[in-house]
Chain A
Amino acid sequence: MKKLTVFFLALTVCASLLVGCASSPTSSPSPTATVSSPSPTASSPSPTASSPSPTASPEAKMKVAFLYDTTVGDFGWYYGHEKARKLTQAALDFVETSYLENVTPGAQAERVMTELCNSGYSVIVAATSGYEADSLKVAEKFPNVKFINICGVTVTSNVETCYPLTTQIWYMLGQIAGKITKTNVIGMVGAVVFPVDLQIQNAWLLGAQSVNPAVTERIIYINTYYDPAAERDAALALIDAGADVIAQATNDPAHVQAAEEKGVYAMSQFEDMRQFGPNAYVSGDVFFWEKYYIPTLQAIHDGSWKARSFWPDIFSGVAGTAEFGPMVTDEMKALVAASKEKMKTDPEFFWKGPIKDVNGTVRVEAGKQLTQEQLLSMDWWVQGVVTSMKSNP
């Protein structure tokens, strides 16, 4: 039954996408006709998918919609959100959650969000940074609807942003990478140039350089978060260019498979991807979004919620480090443990100067530390990164 709803959901979303494309901007009636199609299907079949007896409780439940721009079948980013959505649904009996896949950021997302607001949804979780502009626009029109922008930057009275402080994890993973690499080159399959991704890519290299100053990081940006074949090709190109530890900013495990095939190491974001490369898999970050969603939705329900820019750290449980592979030695474990101890009192010590960027310019002077604003607008790479994208040349 559930699969069937997902299928029809996908079909209607696709259909609306197509009609939206086919009926060029000139004709107005057909796009509006298609907008309404995804949301009724979203609101009507999903209760059967998530709550067993929709008729049992007459009092209105808090309706929460999760918007995904690709698929929950990525075994990574959205897979994790969807897992958390189900756990959240199971934990809170006053909510009624549903999700929409393949909602393209931009005009389509804006229409879908507006439609959701009009049909009684009180919380909208926009699960990718791409939605931020759309949800800010819609949030302004519907001040009573709460918006959660995952990976967002701007906070307003009804828009909250959240992303776990995974730079802490990636600094520690960098320390392992710096020790484990034989070629002194680590490789990153990047998605797009985006501040949160850049923070992770920079933290990873800073961690590696903290134990092995000779390490450089090569990054290939594939300009999308989801194209498994392109990710694999990028990983193979990185390996051919000498990288022997591969990580990714994209949604899924394609790079782990490539690393396994070529006999090099892999680290991953979002999920434990060990099964895709048992010999290659070193570690990674793993997300437990439900530990954020459950208290947040509870707070919204209780009325105690206040929009914030939320960066839960490694001690919050929202994100953690995946179990280490057998190649991680006790020495490396000790390094990581020491860093973690330090983070208890100084959570982001690794952003302390002196830090030079890829062009040799000093970005953070000795004794100073990057501020939250500087991190949120990060558009530069630390010295030692090799990439085609040179900002501020």
Chain B
Amino acid sequence: MIDYETIRVIWWLFTGVVAIGFTVTEGFDFGIGALLPFLGKSDVERRVILNTIGPNWEGNQVWLILLGGALFAVWPPLYATLFSGLYVAMLLVLFSLFMRPTGFDFRSKVDDPTWRNAWDWALFAGGALPPILLGVLVGNLVQGLPYRLDQDLRTFYEGSFWALLNPFALLCGVVGLAGMAFHGAIYLGWRTEGVIHRRACAVLDLLGPVFLVGLTVAILWTIAAFGRPEITSMADTAAPSNPLNKTVTLNNSWLAHFAAHPWMWAAPVVGVAGMLTAWLTGRKGSSGLAFLSSSIGISGVLLTLGFALFPFLLISSIDPRSSYTIWDASASHFNLLLSFWITVVFLPIVLLYTRWAYKVMWGKVTERDILQDSHTLY
């Protein structure tokens, strides 16, 4: 039996694992979608691009669904406040996701240039909008969201959609898009040869610097402009979840938090080093090494965010004690244990057959493949 405090920390880690699983796998699908109209000039070229992820994108998308499910199951108030507070933004994410299953499956089922071109732009929107919107969301998470809880723990969100589009958050949106497109170009380069391979590697010279510079600016901006929340009093770490039983100040420094836990610096270092390695190796001809590096880099960036916020999950900018921490926004002890065992059993099984599915479909996708299997492939 794992005690309540420990299992809360474990679930904080697991949530990070699922978030990383989502960003690393669906990340390159999003990126490839965003690059599709630009890196593929002809119909056959675009089909080559689509079919590098054709057999596997659907499984990757489940990480997103699972992330939603994990928040619902393990941090129910976080799920409730995030999705209802950011109502319009979440619906825009949803609408852009509509373009993906339909785009992949329907695009090549009709042999008509207008039809296919329209779907290519739909796939572009479905690939580009979610990273931008999720980036904007992260940008606002760092600044805190304007919500408060009433005594029944009902959420009242007092901001508007337009207020989300502040300069810092927009920068995060650009970083999100550049990062996913970068990751996508690397995967695409790895799975193709010839002209598409060359174009994919060339675009890294644009995306790599945008991402790295943008990320650095965002980090410095955070340190300079925003305060980090700190708990000033709370029930103990194994108490039943009720956010209102604590007090919080918003004026601490992010640097002081890292200074208190120096090992946390490993995350941003791994993030930047991974992305740099990916860029430098990828631009000369993308390979498994470049992909591994960008995956590690992305994980480092996400861990930086998680470490910086710890133990907070969501900050309220208007009523600090309504903020959620891992100690007061978790599901019950019973539930966390149940979900833990389900995850421990199924995560390895999922990874095993996912690996197999990739292995079966592995290989470079070429124009010849497309012409040969024109009626079966995407």
Is the pairing of A and B real?
no
